[in-house]
Structure 1
Amino acid sequence: MLGVGQKFPQFSLTGVVSNDLNNAFQPFDSNSSAGKWKIVFFWPKDFTFVCPTEIAAFGKLNKEFADRDAVVYGVSTDSEFVHLAWRKDKEELRNLPFPMLSDIKRELTSALGVLDAEAGVAQRATYIVDPQGVIRFAYVTDLNVGRSPEEVLRVLDALQTDELCPCNWKKGEDTLQAA
Protein backbone atom coordinates (compact mmCIF):
# COMPACT_ATOMS: atom_id res chain seq x y z
CA MET A 1 0.00 0.00 0.00
CA LEU A 2 1.29 3.46 -0.87
CA GLY A 3 1.68 5.63 2.17
CA VAL A 4 2.70 8.99 3.56
CA GLY A 5 5.40 10.80 1.61
CA GLN A 6 4.80 8.91 -1.63
CA LYS A 7 3.36 10.41 -4.81
CA PHE A 8 -0.31 9.71 -5.42
CA PRO A 9 -0.61 7.73 -8.68
CA GLN A 10 -1.73 9.32 -11.93
CA PHE A 11 -5.35 8.46 -12.77
CA SER A 12 -8.03 9.04 -15.36
CA LEU A 13 -11.52 7.94 -14.33
CA THR A 14 -15.16 8.62 -15.18
CA GLY A 15 -17.16 10.31 -12.45
CA VAL A 16 -20.88 10.62 -11.80
CA VAL A 17 -21.79 14.21 -10.97
CA SER A 18 -25.58 14.32 -11.34
CA ASN A 19 -28.66 12.13 -11.68
CA ASP A 20 -29.47 13.37 -15.19
CA LEU A 21 -28.25 10.79 -17.70
CA ASN A 22 -27.54 13.54 -20.27
CA ASN A 23 -24.83 15.13 -18.14
CA ALA A 24 -24.20 12.61 -15.37
CA PHE A 25 -20.75 11.53 -16.51
CA GLN A 26 -17.56 13.59 -16.56
CA PRO A 27 -13.90 12.67 -16.92
CA PHE A 28 -11.59 13.30 -13.97
CA ASP A 29 -7.84 12.87 -13.86
CA SER A 30 -4.84 13.76 -11.75
CA ASN A 31 -4.88 17.32 -13.13
CA SER A 32 -8.60 17.99 -12.65
CA SER A 33 -8.01 19.91 -9.45
CA ALA A 34 -4.39 20.94 -9.79
CA GLY A 35 -3.09 23.06 -6.93
CA LYS A 36 -5.74 21.86 -4.47
CA TRP A 37 -5.69 19.41 -1.61
CA LYS A 38 -7.49 16.17 -2.48
CA ILE A 39 -9.50 13.91 -0.24
CA VAL A 40 -9.76 10.57 -2.06
CA PHE A 41 -11.78 7.90 -0.34
CA PHE A 42 -12.66 4.40 -1.52
CA TRP A 43 -15.58 2.16 -0.67
CA PRO A 44 -15.96 -1.55 -1.49
CA LYS A 45 -19.30 -1.81 -3.32
CA ASP A 46 -22.35 0.17 -4.33
CA PHE A 47 -25.76 -0.97 -3.06
CA THR A 48 -24.35 -2.03 0.31
CA PHE A 49 -25.02 -0.98 3.89
CA VAL A 50 -22.00 0.74 5.48
CA CYS A 51 -20.85 2.58 2.33
CA PRO A 52 -23.78 5.01 1.90
CA THR A 53 -23.44 6.16 5.51
CA GLU A 54 -19.84 7.20 4.86
CA ILE A 55 -20.48 8.69 1.42
CA ALA A 56 -23.36 10.79 2.77
CA ALA A 57 -21.21 11.91 5.73
CA PHE A 58 -18.43 13.07 3.37
CA GLY A 59 -21.14 14.87 1.38
CA LYS A 60 -22.35 16.72 4.48
CA LEU A 61 -18.79 17.93 5.11
CA ASN A 62 -18.05 18.85 1.49
CA LYS A 63 -18.41 22.60 2.14
CA GLU A 64 -15.97 22.30 5.05
CA PHE A 65 -13.43 20.58 2.79
CA ALA A 66 -14.00 23.17 0.03
CA ASP A 67 -13.45 25.98 2.56
CA ARG A 68 -10.00 24.45 3.12
CA ASP A 69 -9.18 24.44 -0.61
CA ALA A 70 -9.73 20.67 -0.82
CA VAL A 71 -11.76 18.64 -3.31
CA VAL A 72 -13.40 15.33 -2.43
CA TYR A 73 -13.39 12.31 -4.72
CA GLY A 74 -15.26 9.13 -3.82
CA VAL A 75 -14.13 5.99 -5.64
CA SER A 76 -15.16 2.35 -5.98
CA THR A 77 -14.56 -0.42 -8.49
CA ASP A 78 -18.19 -0.33 -9.64
CA SER A 79 -19.01 1.17 -13.04
CA GLU A 80 -20.26 4.71 -13.53
CA PHE A 81 -23.63 3.23 -14.54
CA VAL A 82 -23.93 1.39 -11.23
CA HIS A 83 -22.94 4.62 -9.42
CA LEU A 84 -25.69 6.49 -11.28
CA ALA A 85 -28.30 3.84 -10.47
CA TRP A 86 -27.29 3.88 -6.80
CA ARG A 87 -27.40 7.69 -6.65
CA LYS A 88 -30.91 7.62 -8.07
CA ASP A 89 -32.01 4.80 -5.76
CA LYS A 90 -30.55 5.98 -2.44
CA GLU A 91 -32.06 9.18 -1.03
CA GLU A 92 -28.92 10.28 0.85
CA LEU A 93 -26.79 9.98 -2.31
CA ARG A 94 -29.04 11.85 -4.75
CA ASN A 95 -27.50 15.28 -4.26
CA LEU A 96 -23.88 14.44 -3.58
CA PRO A 97 -21.69 17.51 -4.06
CA PHE A 98 -18.64 15.51 -5.21
CA PRO A 99 -18.07 12.99 -8.01
CA MET A 100 -18.40 9.26 -7.56
CA LEU A 101 -15.47 7.92 -9.60
CA SER A 102 -15.45 4.53 -11.30
CA ASP A 103 -12.24 2.49 -11.09
CA ILE A 104 -13.79 -0.43 -12.95
CA LYS A 105 -10.41 -1.48 -14.39
CA ARG A 106 -9.01 -1.41 -10.85
CA GLU A 107 -6.00 0.61 -12.00
CA LEU A 108 -6.01 3.23 -9.24
CA THR A 109 -6.88 0.77 -6.47
CA SER A 110 -4.10 -1.53 -7.69
CA ALA A 111 -1.55 1.30 -8.01
CA LEU A 112 -2.32 2.38 -4.44
CA GLY A 113 -2.27 -1.19 -3.14
CA VAL A 114 -5.82 -0.96 -1.75
CA LEU A 115 -7.46 -3.61 -3.93
CA ASP A 116 -8.68 -6.31 -1.56
CA ALA A 117 -7.21 -9.50 -3.06
CA GLU A 118 -9.82 -11.79 -1.57
CA ALA A 119 -12.95 -9.72 -2.28
CA GLY A 120 -11.70 -8.11 -5.53
CA VAL A 121 -12.99 -4.67 -4.47
CA ALA A 122 -11.47 -1.50 -3.08
CA GLN A 123 -10.59 -1.55 0.58
CA ARG A 124 -12.18 1.13 2.74
CA ALA A 125 -9.24 3.53 2.27
CA THR A 126 -8.88 7.30 2.61
CA TYR A 127 -6.06 9.53 1.41
CA ILE A 128 -5.25 13.19 1.92
CA VAL A 129 -3.07 14.39 -0.94
CA ASP A 130 -1.36 17.78 -0.83
CA PRO A 131 -1.34 20.25 -3.75
CA GLN A 132 2.01 18.80 -4.94
CA GLY A 133 0.46 15.32 -5.27
CA VAL A 134 2.14 13.85 -2.18
CA ILE A 135 0.21 11.55 0.14
CA ARG A 136 0.08 13.18 3.57
CA PHE A 137 -2.43 10.83 5.25
CA ALA A 138 -3.49 7.24 4.57
CA TYR A 139 -6.20 5.42 6.48
CA VAL A 140 -7.68 1.96 5.85
CA THR A 141 -10.31 0.16 7.88
CA ASP A 142 -11.79 -3.31 7.70
CA LEU A 143 -14.43 -3.74 4.98
CA ASN A 144 -17.10 -3.98 7.70
CA VAL A 145 -16.10 -0.86 9.64
CA GLY A 146 -17.03 2.67 8.60
CA ARG A 147 -14.61 5.54 8.93
CA SER A 148 -14.99 9.05 10.35
CA PRO A 149 -15.05 11.89 7.79
CA GLU A 150 -14.79 14.31 10.73
CA GLU A 151 -11.41 12.79 11.59
CA VAL A 152 -10.27 13.24 7.98
CA LEU A 153 -11.27 16.92 8.20
CA ARG A 154 -9.44 17.28 11.52
CA VAL A 155 -6.27 15.79 10.04
CA LEU A 156 -6.53 18.08 6.99
CA ASP A 157 -6.77 21.06 9.34
CA ALA A 158 -3.68 19.85 11.21
CA LEU A 159 -1.71 19.25 8.01
CA GLN A 160 -2.56 22.70 6.72
CA THR A 161 -1.09 24.37 9.81
CA ASP A 162 2.35 23.01 8.86
CA GLU A 163 2.96 22.94 12.62
CA LEU A 164 3.29 20.28 15.31
CA CYS A 165 -0.22 19.27 16.40
CA PRO A 166 -0.82 17.28 19.59
CA CYS A 167 -3.18 14.36 20.03
CA ASN A 168 -6.81 15.27 19.38
CA TRP A 169 -5.82 18.76 18.23
CA LYS A 170 -8.66 20.73 16.65
CA LYS A 171 -8.65 23.78 14.39
CA GLY A 172 -8.17 26.96 16.42
CA GLU A 173 -6.26 25.27 19.24
CA ASP A 174 -2.62 26.00 19.98
CA THR A 175 0.01 23.98 18.18
CA LEU A 176 3.21 22.76 19.84
CA GLN A 177 6.50 24.62 19.75
CA ALA A 178 9.70 22.58 19.45
CA ALA A 179 12.16 23.39 22.23
Structure 2
Amino acid sequence: MTENRILSVGSVFPEFKKQAVVSIEKGKEFYEISSDTHRHNDQWMVMFWWPKDFTFVCPTEIAEFNKNYDEFRDRDAVLIGASTDSEFVHAAWRRDHEDLRELRFPMLADTSKSLAEELGILQAEEKVAYRATYIVDPQGIIRWVSLNDLNVGRNVAEVLRVLDALQTDELCPCNWQKGEETIEA
Protein backbone atom coordinates (compact mmCIF):
# COMPACT_ATOMS: atom_id res chain seq x y z
CA MET A 1 0.00 0.00 0.00
CA THR A 2 1.31 3.41 -0.98
CA GLU A 3 1.51 6.07 1.71
CA ASN A 4 -0.30 9.30 0.87
CA ARG A 5 1.16 12.67 1.74
CA ILE A 6 -2.00 14.44 2.76
CA LEU A 7 -1.98 18.20 2.51
CA SER A 8 -2.76 19.27 6.05
CA VAL A 9 -3.31 22.09 8.50
CA GLY A 10 -1.23 25.20 7.83
CA SER A 11 -0.77 24.43 4.13
CA VAL A 12 -2.14 26.59 1.37
CA PHE A 13 -5.10 24.90 -0.30
CA PRO A 14 -4.19 24.23 -3.95
CA GLU A 15 -5.49 26.51 -6.64
CA PHE A 16 -8.11 24.88 -8.84
CA LYS A 17 -10.49 25.60 -11.68
CA LYS A 18 -12.98 22.80 -12.31
CA GLN A 19 -16.37 22.10 -13.83
CA ALA A 20 -19.17 21.59 -11.33
CA VAL A 21 -22.81 20.61 -11.45
CA VAL A 22 -24.97 23.36 -9.97
CA SER A 23 -28.42 22.45 -11.29
CA ILE A 24 -30.46 19.75 -13.00
CA GLU A 25 -32.25 22.33 -15.16
CA LYS A 26 -31.45 21.66 -18.83
CA GLY A 27 -28.85 24.11 -20.12
CA LYS A 28 -27.94 25.34 -16.62
CA GLU A 29 -26.33 22.20 -15.18
CA PHE A 30 -22.65 23.17 -15.37
CA TYR A 31 -20.56 26.02 -14.03
CA GLU A 32 -16.82 26.51 -13.64
CA ILE A 33 -15.69 27.12 -10.07
CA SER A 34 -12.26 28.01 -8.79
CA SER A 35 -10.27 28.49 -5.62
CA ASP A 36 -10.66 32.25 -6.07
CA THR A 37 -14.40 32.10 -5.44
CA HIS A 38 -14.18 32.14 -1.63
CA ARG A 39 -10.99 34.19 -1.35
CA HIS A 40 -12.34 37.14 -3.35
CA ASN A 41 -15.44 37.22 -1.17
CA ASP A 42 -13.44 36.90 2.06
CA GLN A 43 -15.24 33.66 2.89
CA TRP A 44 -14.31 30.35 4.44
CA MET A 45 -14.53 27.24 2.28
CA VAL A 46 -15.66 23.78 3.33
CA MET A 47 -14.86 21.18 0.68
CA PHE A 48 -15.91 17.61 1.27
CA TRP A 49 -14.99 14.65 -0.92
CA TRP A 50 -16.73 11.34 -1.52
CA PRO A 51 -15.37 8.27 -3.34
CA LYS A 52 -17.94 7.56 -6.09
CA ASP A 53 -21.29 8.66 -7.40
CA PHE A 54 -24.13 6.11 -7.52
CA THR A 55 -23.04 4.49 -4.25
CA PHE A 56 -24.64 4.05 -0.83
CA VAL A 57 -22.92 6.03 1.96
CA CYS A 58 -22.13 9.05 -0.22
CA PRO A 59 -25.70 10.29 -0.79
CA THR A 60 -26.42 10.18 2.95
CA GLU A 61 -23.52 12.58 3.54
CA ILE A 62 -24.34 14.82 0.59
CA ALA A 63 -27.98 15.08 1.66
CA GLU A 64 -26.93 15.93 5.24
CA PHE A 65 -24.57 18.68 4.05
CA ASN A 66 -27.45 20.01 1.93
CA LYS A 67 -29.82 20.01 4.95
CA ASN A 68 -27.23 22.14 6.75
CA TYR A 69 -26.48 24.43 3.79
CA ASP A 70 -27.93 27.51 5.53
CA GLU A 71 -25.77 26.77 8.60
CA PHE A 72 -22.64 26.99 6.45
CA ARG A 73 -23.89 30.09 4.61
CA ASP A 74 -24.68 31.79 7.95
CA ARG A 75 -21.04 31.22 8.91
CA ASP A 76 -19.78 32.87 5.69
CA ALA A 77 -18.59 29.53 4.35
CA VAL A 78 -18.76 28.36 0.76
CA LEU A 79 -19.74 24.69 0.66
CA ILE A 80 -18.39 22.51 -2.17
CA GLY A 81 -18.86 18.79 -2.65
CA ALA A 82 -16.34 16.92 -4.80
CA SER A 83 -15.37 13.57 -6.27
CA THR A 84 -13.28 12.29 -9.14
CA ASP A 85 -16.39 11.51 -11.20
CA SER A 86 -17.17 13.66 -14.24
CA GLU A 87 -19.68 16.49 -14.27
CA PHE A 88 -21.89 14.33 -16.53
CA VAL A 89 -21.96 11.51 -13.97
CA HIS A 90 -22.72 14.06 -11.22
CA ALA A 91 -25.61 15.45 -13.27
CA ALA A 92 -27.02 11.98 -13.99
CA TRP A 93 -26.78 11.04 -10.31
CA ARG A 94 -28.53 14.25 -9.24
CA ARG A 95 -31.36 13.58 -11.70
CA ASP A 96 -31.57 9.93 -10.61
CA HIS A 97 -31.40 10.26 -6.79
CA GLU A 98 -34.29 12.04 -5.08
CA ASP A 99 -32.14 13.29 -2.17
CA LEU A 100 -29.72 15.01 -4.57
CA ARG A 101 -32.08 16.84 -6.94
CA GLU A 102 -32.36 20.01 -4.86
CA LEU A 103 -28.71 20.45 -3.86
CA ARG A 104 -27.78 24.04 -3.05
CA PHE A 105 -24.02 23.66 -3.43
CA PRO A 106 -21.86 22.68 -6.41
CA MET A 107 -20.65 19.14 -7.08
CA LEU A 108 -17.08 19.63 -8.27
CA ALA A 109 -15.82 17.21 -10.94
CA ASP A 110 -12.13 16.39 -10.52
CA THR A 111 -12.02 14.05 -13.54
CA SER A 112 -8.29 14.55 -14.03
CA LYS A 113 -7.86 13.62 -10.33
CA SER A 114 -5.30 16.42 -10.15
CA LEU A 115 -6.81 18.22 -7.16
CA ALA A 116 -7.40 14.99 -5.19
CA GLU A 117 -3.84 13.94 -5.99
CA GLU A 118 -2.41 17.29 -4.90
CA LEU A 119 -4.39 17.01 -1.65
CA GLY A 120 -3.02 13.48 -1.15
CA ILE A 121 -6.48 11.94 -0.74
CA LEU A 122 -6.52 9.42 -3.61
CA GLN A 123 -7.01 5.84 -2.49
CA ALA A 124 -4.12 3.82 -3.93
CA GLU A 125 -5.92 0.87 -5.53
CA GLU A 126 -9.07 2.40 -7.03
CA LYS A 127 -7.77 5.96 -7.45
CA VAL A 128 -10.93 7.43 -5.91
CA ALA A 129 -10.96 10.10 -3.22
CA TYR A 130 -11.18 9.19 0.44
CA ARG A 131 -13.97 10.84 2.45
CA ALA A 132 -11.96 13.97 3.13
CA THR A 133 -13.23 17.24 4.56
CA TYR A 134 -11.27 20.49 4.45
CA ILE A 135 -12.01 23.75 6.23
CA VAL A 136 -10.07 26.56 4.55
CA ASP A 137 -9.90 30.11 5.89
CA PRO A 138 -10.49 33.23 3.73
CA GLN A 139 -6.72 33.51 3.10
CA GLY A 140 -6.67 30.02 1.55
CA ILE A 141 -4.96 28.29 4.49
CA ILE A 142 -6.14 24.82 5.50
CA ARG A 143 -7.31 25.03 9.11
CA TRP A 144 -8.86 21.55 9.56
CA VAL A 145 -8.73 18.21 7.77
CA SER A 146 -10.73 15.11 8.47
CA LEU A 147 -10.18 11.89 6.55
CA ASN A 148 -12.42 8.83 6.77
CA ASP A 149 -12.03 5.35 5.37
CA LEU A 150 -14.15 4.64 2.28
CA ASN A 151 -16.79 2.76 4.31
CA VAL A 152 -17.43 5.32 7.07
CA GLY A 153 -19.56 8.43 6.67
CA ARG A 154 -18.64 11.68 8.37
CA ASN A 155 -20.47 13.80 10.94
CA VAL A 156 -21.69 17.11 9.48
CA ALA A 157 -22.47 18.50 12.96
CA GLU A 158 -18.80 18.04 13.85
CA VAL A 159 -17.73 19.95 10.73
CA LEU A 160 -19.98 22.84 11.80
CA ARG A 161 -18.68 22.66 15.40
CA VAL A 162 -15.06 22.90 14.23
CA LEU A 163 -15.89 25.74 11.83
CA ASP A 164 -17.51 27.63 14.72
CA ALA A 165 -14.47 27.03 16.91
CA LEU A 166 -12.03 28.15 14.21
CA GLN A 167 -14.02 31.30 13.58
CA THR A 168 -13.76 32.37 17.24
CA ASP A 169 -9.98 32.64 16.76
CA GLU A 170 -9.75 31.74 20.46
CA LEU A 171 -8.82 28.67 22.52
CA CYS A 172 -11.75 26.23 22.51
CA PRO A 173 -11.80 23.31 24.96
CA CYS A 174 -12.77 19.72 24.19
CA ASN A 175 -16.40 19.33 23.07
CA TRP A 176 -16.79 23.12 22.88
CA GLN A 177 -20.06 24.27 21.29
CA LYS A 178 -20.94 27.64 19.81
CA GLY A 179 -22.02 30.04 22.57
CA GLU A 180 -19.94 28.38 25.29
CA GLU A 181 -17.02 30.04 27.02
CA THR A 182 -13.62 29.88 25.39
CA ILE A 183 -10.39 29.59 27.37
CA GLU A 184 -8.54 32.69 28.52
CA ALA A 185 -4.81 32.10 28.36
Give the TM-score of the pair, scaled to structure 2: 0.95
State the distance in 2 between where 1:21 and 1:105 align: 25
Name the SS for the 2:179 alignment partner: coil
Q: Shift of residue 21 of structure 1?
A: 2.7
Deviation at 1:32, TM superposition (A): 1.6
Alignment partner of 2:35 out of 30, 49, 53: 30
Structure 1: which 5+ runs fail to align?
A: none
Q: Give, in whole Å, the separation in 1 of the partners of 2:97 and 2:55.
A: 10
- Partner in structure 1 of residue 8 of structure 2: 3
Note the residue ranges of structure 2 that are not aligned, 5 or more in a row: 1-5
Q: Give the counterpart of 1:170 among 168, 173, 177.
A: 177
Cα deviations across residues 63-82 of structure 1 (Å, max 9, x unaligned)?
A: 00000000100000000000
Q: Find 1:46's aligned residue among 36, 44, 53.
A: 53
**Identity over aligned pairs, percent:** 61
Kindly indicate whether residue 153 of structure 2 is the aligned counterpart of residue 161 of structure 1: no
Q: 1-side partners of 2:103 and 2:83: how far apart?
A: 15
Once superposed, which parts of structure 1, at least 4 consecutive aligned residues long, lie more than 3 Å away? none
**How many residues are matched?**
178
How many Å apart are 1:53 and its aligned residue?
A: 0.2
- Match of 1:15, SS state, is strand
Give the aligned partner of residue 123 of structure 2. 116
1:148, distance to aligned residue in structure 2 (A): 0.5
Alignment of 1:76-155 (within 5 A): 76-155=83-162
